[in-house]
Amino acid sequence: MACIAPDGSVTRPGRKMLEAMKAPRALEDVALVAEIPLYRVRSVIRELLDAGLAEEKDGLYSITDKGLAKLM
Which CATH number does the domain housing residue 63 bear? 1.10.10.10
pLDDT tens readout for residues 23-61:
999 999 999 999 999 999 998 899 999 999 999 999 999
At 22, is the pLDDT very low, low, confident or very high (cuts 50, 70, 90)?
Answer: very high
Residue 12 Cα to chain centre, angstroms? 10
55, exposed or middle or buried, with CB in 10 Å at 0-12, 13-18, 19+? middle
In a domain, 56, yes or no: yes
In a domain, 37, yes or no: yes
In a domain, 46, yes or no: yes
CA atoms of 69 and 72, how far apart (whole Å): 5
Q: How many domains does the chain have?
A: 1
Provide the residue range defining the domain that includes 21: 12-71
CA atoms of 60 and 6, how far apart (whole Å): 28
pLDDT tens readout for residues 8-21:
889 898 999 999 99
pTM (2 decimals)? 0.89
